[in-house]
Amino acid sequence: MPWGDMLPMIFADFLRNRRREQLSDQDLAALEASVSQVRKTHARQLLAHAGEPIACSTYLMEGFICRYMDDRNGLRQLVAVHVPGDFVDLHGYPLGRLDHDVATLSASKIAMVPHEALDGLLAQRPNLTKLLWFSTLLDAAMHREWIFRLGRLDAVARIAHFFCEIEAKLRAVGLSDGSRFALPLTQADLGEACGMTSVHINRMLRELRERELLQVQRGRVTISDLAALRRLCDYDPSYLFIGG
Amino acid sequence: MPWGDMLPMIFADFLRNRRREQLSDQDLAALEASVSQVRKTHARQLLAHAGEPIACSTYLMEGFICRYMDDRNGLRQLVAVHVPGDFVDLHGYPLGRLDHDVATLSASKIAMVPHEALDGLLAQRPNLTKLLWFSTLLDAAMHREWIFRLGRLDAVARIAHFFCEIEAKLRAVGLSDGSRFALPLTQADLGEACGMTSVHINRMLRELRERELLQVQRGRVTISDLAALRRLCDYDPSYLFIGG
DNA sequence: CGCCCAGTTGAGCGACTTCAAAATATGTGG
DNA sequence: CCACATATTTTGAAGTCGCTCAACTGGGCG
């Protein structure tokens, strides 16, 4: 029996249902051993600020975290929403500093990985290194999909597309059954993710509700017709590399 | 004298003015040795198609290449514009397949690097590996800036922001003096990059011309007042990691 | 109970699109 | 080097999507 099963598994959800088969028990053990601290945070708490050097990356075990950029008027644009199993700012390791802020959306449980430990992994574990690299490129693929969403989709489709992505990510780690999941975002947050005002988000959510595709209430999302929702925004989850 | 100076330097512009000091002569030599082929391509030629597995990555030596995604109606959204010195689809190595198309904009000179060769580098050259990883994350940082551009800026500022980025990238590899550079993009291309119609691009370019900030003609861009242009769109190039 | 934040709704406006046509470059073959 | 064909740029007019501003509703919590 792989000894990973015997320990508290911090990285149990890391790349789960992605390409997990490539992660050997030894690599997993090395990754677990590189964690310096596991801690809990409150909701709406700033974890890292744009520009400052970082020496530690954050892996999300429970809860929701977002990354965002501010314009000069303080208006936010979200660039990512992270769910359990995401290595939120692993890119800070090769980059050395972040070009965006990182903050929790909900109360969360996170694991801290010092970059010194990652140096060790990089030098000794090429397979693990490639997998870590892969995970940062998964984020880049999501960025591209966000660019497409903002550049080519209208308001309803943007929202639909956003929820399709979140649903697919949550399902991969067992937090969605394909129709229901928790998502602690306000309509203002959705606006900051989809590049529109919260007022218009509200109207478009009503439309999605009336078309019986999607319902949002009190931080819970109910997707009544996932296939139709995906059709609406031409959603294809292959960029998430789920299922191999 | 480093022996890199003695050879035809394929990667002379790779991360030039970025963090080049970290790339040792041996690493550089190993990188050069991993190239299987250098070839020229015509303008507007498809290099890689979304979805198909790739076994080789493309480094751009001369010319311009873009990456884009299509919606169901065939409308394109560019997700990146590459200039000489860019490792265009290095992310295809950890990912295994691409989630977007790659095509030349102008006639180009490219170097092909088989992924097998990269396996060798990954196993034996941690510093080089970290630098290659870094370069793919620079692309991700640019993606984030594009998300911000599309989500938070109006039409004029989007165009200004796009040109500010291209100018900064070209200057880093010596292809812009801060005011003039070649850029073989049509107004339709600009529209596909900035998420708007070519008609509106045309009108906004006129506005930028009338405000004496920027001029575009026959594939040549002239920036009359870079500082003002940057102010217009709140542009801060620090995400490009130029100069350090 | 009353406050505050999130959600909801309406009216009017402005930015950008759509559709259409004309003007100007660019490229090609003779 | 010209004539022709094609691509790109430019301009106008009308329509629509999403924004702004403003007010009101409702739920959670001290």
- Over residues B229-240, the pLDDT tens digits come to 999 999 999 999
Q: Which pLDDT value is given to residue B52?
A: 92
Q: Which pLDDT value is given to residue B20?
A: 65
Q: Which pLDDT value is given to residue A99?
A: 97
Best CA proximity match to A149, nearest among A232, A243, A64? A232
Chain-centre distance of CA A65, in angstroms?
7
Provide the pLDDT confidence category of residue B167 given band limits of 50, 70 and 90.
Answer: very high
Contacts of B151 in chain A (CB under 8 A): 77, 150, 194-195
- In this structure, are residues A107 and A65 in contact, taking their beta carbons and an 8 Å threshold? no
Q: How far is the CA of B218 from the C1' of D4 (A)?
A: 22
CATH number of B3-140: 2.60.120.10
Q: Which pLDDT value is given to residue A1?
A: 45
> B195 and A239: CB-CB below 8 Å?
no
Q: How far is the CA of B218 from the C1' of C30 (A)?
A: 27
Chain C bases closer than 7 angstroms to a protein Cβ: 5-10, 15-20, 25-26
Distance CA A39, CA A52 (A): 21
**Taken in order B111, B112, B117, B118, is the CA torsion positive or negative?**
positive
- List chain B domain ranges: 3-140, 153-240
Let me know if A228 is exposed, middle or buried by CB neighbors in 10 A (0-12, 13-18, 19+).
middle
Cβ atoms within 10 Å of B138's Cβ, excluding its own: 23
Q: Which of B129, B139, B147 is facing A129, going by the closest CB pair?
A: B129
At the top level of CATH, the class of B153-240 is mainly alpha
> B94 and A133: CB-CB below 8 Å?
yes
For A124-147, give one letter per residue: b (16+ CB within 10 A) or e.
ebbebbbbbbbbbbbbbbbbbbbb
Task: Tell whether the model's pLDDT for residue A17 goes beyond 50.
Answer: yes
Distances (CA, A) of A48 to A38, A88, A185, B85, B151: 16, 11, 20, 31, 22
CA distance B77 to chain A (A): 6
CA distance A185 to chain B (A): 18
CATH architecture, domain A154-240: Orthogonal Bundle (1.10)
A146-189 pLDDT, tens digit each: 999 999 999 999 999 999 999 999 999 999 998 999 999 999 99
What three-state secondary structure class fits A58? Answer: strand
Which nucleotide's C1' sits nearest to the alpha carbon of B203? Answer: D10
Q: How far is the CA of A218 from the C1' of D30 (A)?
A: 20
Supply the angle between the helices B198-210 and B187-194 in degrees, to the nearest 10.
100
What three-state secondary structure class fits B131? Answer: helix
Find the closest chain B residue to A120 by CA distance: B126
Tally DSSP H helices, then E strands, for chain B: 8, 10
Q: Which of B94, B194, B239 is facing A130, going by the closest CB pair?
A: B94
At the top level of CATH, the class of A3-144 is mainly beta
Q: Which pLDDT value is given to residue B3?
A: 47
Q: Which pLDDT value is given to residue A8?
A: 65
DSSP H or E segment with residue A28 = helix A25-33
Mean pLDDT of B132-146: 98
> B152 and A122: CB-CB below 8 Å?
no
Provide the pLDDT confidence category of residue B6 given band limits of 50, 70 and 90.
Answer: low
Contacts of B117 in chain A (CB under 8 A): none
B63-96 pLDDT, tens digit each: 999 999 998 888 999 999 999 999 999 999 999 9
> A150 and B152: CB-CB below 8 Å?
no
Long-range CB contacts for residues B228-231, cutoff 8 Å, separation at least 24: B229/B160, B229/B163, B229/B164, B230/B160, B230/B164
Task: Tell whether the model's pLDDT for residue A3 goes beyond 70.
Answer: no
Q: Which two tokens stand for residue A218?
A: 């009190």
**What's the mean pLDDT when you consider all of chain A?**
94
Query: Looking at this protein, which amino acid is placed at residue A85?
Result: G
The torsion angle over the Cα atoms of residues A178, A183, A188 and A194, rounded to 10 degrees, is: -40
Q: How far is the CA of B71 from the C1' of C19 (A)?
A: 22
Best CA proximity match to A134, nearest among A52, A38, A241? A241
Distance CA A78, CA B20 (A): 31
Q: Which pLDDT value is given to residue A243?
A: 83
Task: Tell whether the model's pLDDT for residue B55 goes beyond 80.
Answer: yes
Most distant CA pair in chain B: distance in Å? 55
- Which tops the pLDDT comparison, A114 or A71? A114
* H runs (alpha helix) in chain B: 25-33, 92-95, 115-124, 126-152, 155-172, 187-194, 198-210, 226-233
Percent of residues in chain B assigned helix, strand, coil, to nearest 5 = 45, 20, 35
